[in-house]
Chains A and B, each alone.
Chain A
Amino acid sequence: MMIEVANLQKAFGSNQVLRDISFEVAQGDVIAILGASGSGKSTLLRSLIHLETVDGGSIAIEGQDLVRDGVYAGREQIRRLTARMGMVFQAYNLFPNMTVKKNLTLPFILTGRGSRAQAQDRCLELLGKVGLLDKLNDFPASLSGGQQQRVAIARALMLNPDIMLFDEPTSALDPQITGEVLNTMKDLASDHMTMLVVTHELGFARNVANKVIFMHQGIIEEAGTAEAVFTQPQSPVTEAFLRL
């Protein structure tokens, strides 16, 4: 299994945000995580890449423990495991003080992935893939939201992750331009990237994801193949959400 999550618990103060989350992700899975605002989707995703520390439960990446029964692995193991994941944020979070090229190449070089020349080659290849080669020397502020998000995806891909996490990647975009980002993600899915995508794009969840996790108040209310969850939701809460 690519990712195994068991009995995950997380509270902010007295607010129990993740109650008892368990699921598995296989190589090449594209999992859409759906649910109302506040149901704990972001917290779950952020816990996987150690932007949040959980209170209990286990997370293993390709059989190696990030945290087991609430006890975290050593610093080095955490670094190694989280390095296999890339993350794309709702607000892109590009570095505004660097050109597109620098945004892509700097982390590659600083984390010792390869030489400057290798960084450059990979940067050109990935920008070509997301269709933004001409923006190489532009600063993020001069790009549209959709372009910035595609740069952010390319930046995450620079580090050659095995798993990509997306937290509402299109929620900050105008409806007309969500398509360009969703298409980039669709390409990634057809390259067999393992993806966890928190999204409100039901079309994407239905057509691109192979599995769907529906969260409600900190638990997984329902999970299954996209086909099953969309056509025969078992839980009335899920059904109500999908009808909305």
Chain B
Amino acid sequence: MDYIISMLPMLLEGTVTSLKLFAFALVLSIPLGLPVALQLRSRFRPLRWLANVYVYIFRSTPLMLQLVIIYFGLPRIPGIGPYLLLDRFHAAILAFVLNYIAYFAEIYRSGLLGVNRSQFEACQVLGLSHWQAQTRVIFPQMFRICLPSVANEVITLLKDTSLLYAVSVAELIHNAEAIVNRDANMTALMVALVIYMILNFFLTVILKHLESRFSWGKNL
């Protein structure tokens, strides 16, 4: 027990780093997925095409690879490369945000399909502008439809923060493994596992609460 307590400061420090990445990635990608989702359905062909290519690239390749390329690869582009040198943590935020925007955009796109077209007509005959209709009527309903899928991604995101390991940022797994190597003892990884489970427990509770808050009188 004393052994576990002695390793906690280092593990918690790693946890804070993981949570920081989690928070930044979430706060940026959840809203930014929406404009991309709208471009996926844009009437302007080149925009729609661009958005689809973007989503395709980031969804069809491993996040780990994206992370490594952004950190190690971008600075090597001749000419502009030196300006693209990010520190590890910021490179990670960039990779995570770009990756999760693609996922959320795709989820939102299908959510938009689930909102009844007639809702738009109701807005129109009530004199709402296109923007008012979107923000007050369409997006909230889309978000409600997407919530379970979004919740899934949020939980995956928390676990994905362990990919920071690939660029040697001192996140939870990185620190746990340092302890394992130092002491030739697996306990630290077990403790890391428990920490993930505890974090995800709270996350799940919050997400469930959100779902019921957005039930709008329906029994779910």
Interface residues, chain A, CB within 8 Å of chain B? 49-51, 79, 82-83, 85-87, 89, 91, 93-97, 106-107, 110-111, 138-142, 155-156, 159
Contact = CB atoms under 8 A, between A and B. Distances in A.
Nearest to A102: B136
Interface stretch (B13-21, B46-54, B123-131): B123-131
B125 A51 contact: yes
B31 interface: no
B136 A96 contact: no
A83 to B, nearest CB: 5
Given A82-B127, A83-B127, A93 B118 contact: yes
Contact of B216 (A85, A93, A96, A111): A96
Given A93-B119, A95-B136, A97-B137, 14 more contacts: A51-B125, A86-B125, A93-B116, A93-B121, A94-B122, A95-B119, A96-B216, A97-B216, A107-B128, A110-B132, A140-B216, A140-B217, A155-B126, A156-B125
A51 B117 CA distance: 12
A95 B137 contact: yes
A102 to B, nearest CB: 9
B125 A49 contact: yes
Nearest to B219: A141
Contact of A95 (B121, B122, B127, B129): B122
Nearest to B143: A97
A79 B118 contact: no
> Which of B116, B125, B136, B216 counts the most A-chain CB atoms under 10 A from its CB?
B125
B127 A97 contact: no
Contacts of A141: 216-218
Nearest to B139: A97
B127 A106 contact: no
A180 to B, nearest CB: 20
Nearest to B122: A93
A142 B217 contact: yes
A106 B217 contact: no
A155 B128 CA distance: 13
B124 A51 contact: yes
> Which of B119, B126, B127, B140 counts the most A-chain CB atoms under 10 A from its CB?
B126
Interface majority SS on B: helix, strand, loop or mixed? helix
14 contacts: A51-B124, A51-B125, A85-B125, A93-B121, A96-B141, A96-B218, A97-B141, A106-B136, A110-B132, A111-B127, A139-B218, A140-B216, A155-B126, A159-B127
Contacts of A93: 116, 118-119, 121-122
B144 interface: yes
Contacts of B116: 93
Contacts of A79: 127
A237 to B, nearest CB: 30
Contacts of A110: 127-129, 132, 136
Contacts of A107: 126-128
Top 10 A-B residue pairs of the complex, sorted by shortest distance between their CB atoms: A139-B217, A93-B122, A107-B126, A142-B217, A141-B217, A87-B125, A111-B127, A97-B140, A141-B218, A139-B216
A81 B136 CA distance: 24
A51 B121 contact: yes
Contact of B118 (A50, A89, A156): A89
A95 B118 CA distance: 10
A96 B144 CA distance: 11
Nearest to A86: B125
A49 B124 CA distance: 9
Given A97-B144, A110-B136, A82 B217 contact: no
B40 to A, nearest CB: 22
Contacts of A155: 126
A85 B141 CA distance: 26
A95 B140 CA distance: 10
Contacts of B144: 97
Interface in B25-53: none
A160 to B, nearest CB: 12
Nearest to B125: A87
A94 B126 CA distance: 11
Nearest to A97: B140
Contacts of B127: 79, 82-83, 107, 110-111, 159
